[in-house]
């Protein structure tokens, strides 16, 4: 079966490129995955260049050009539905989504902490600075609550004496490993 993916990002696009490298036009079991849509809310984001390396144009929908969060989300929903994506993947998409989006689109989010701890935009820093001995990443379904949807997958590591740069690199390495696996598993389990 052909599984169509939409990927939403706001910045560097490292996880976007990881999905393109590991899943785009590749087959796992009965399923072939194709990224049919890349969406970014910032026109100067480096991830747009990463998508171009795979022959994909990014649809830029700048949130500042909308009068409300709901209006922006409605445009996202329209764009995603037009692409006929089976799953939308949020990778560093720095927007809080309203029910206009969450009630219409089947989406997962990659989050750089062990949820339900350290929700929001500063998760890596907060996790690093915490007294916890472990850190990690979570992949969860998107719902109305910020970083609050049902958890699909998690991976943890011991913090040890890592400096911040190495800690952050470890988080991103885990993201690149776990996200493609989780996407494949979602459709194996359906």
Annotated binding site: 69, 94-97, 109
DSSP string, 88-115: EEEES---PPPHHHHTT--EEEEESS-T
Give the helix ranges, DSSP H, for 31-163: 47-52, 69-83, 99-102, 123-129
Residue 103: Cβ within 10 Å count: 11
Cβ neighbors of 71 (< 8 A, separation 6 or more) are none
Q: Which candidate, 167, 60, 69, 150, places its Cα nearest to that of 109? A: 150
Q: Which candidate, 92, 78, 4, places its Cα nearest to that of 46? A: 92
Q: Which of 24, 111, 140, 176 is catalytic?
A: 111
Going by the annotation, the residues of the binding site for (6R)-10-formyltetrahydrofolate are 69, 94-97, 109
Place of tokens 């998760």: 123
* Known active-site residue 172: no
Active site residues: 111
């Amino acid at each position: 079966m052909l599984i169509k993916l939409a990927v939403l990002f706001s910045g560097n696009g490292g996880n976007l490129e990881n999905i393109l490298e590991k899943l785009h036009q590749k087959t796992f079991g009965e399923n072939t995955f194709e990224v049919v849509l890349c969406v970014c809310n910032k026109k100067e984001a480096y991830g747009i260049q990463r998508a171009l390396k795979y022959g994909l144009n990014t649809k830029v929908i700048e949130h500042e050009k909308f009068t409300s969060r709901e209006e922006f989300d409605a445009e996202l929903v329209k764009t995603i539905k037009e692409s006929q994506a089976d799953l939308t993947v949020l990778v560093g998409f720095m927007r809080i989504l309203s029910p206009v989006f969450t009630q219409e689109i089947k989406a997962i989010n990659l989050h750089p902490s062990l949820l339900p701890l350290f929700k929001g935009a500063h998760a890596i820093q907060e996790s690093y600075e915490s007294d916890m001995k472990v850190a990690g990443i979570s992949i969860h379904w998107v719902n109305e609550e910020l970083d609050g949807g049902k958890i699909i997958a998690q991976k943890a590591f011991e913090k040890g004496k890592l400096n911040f740069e190495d800690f952050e690199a470890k988080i991103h390495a885990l993201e690149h490993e776990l996200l493609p696996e989780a996407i494949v598993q979602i459709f194996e389990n359906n």
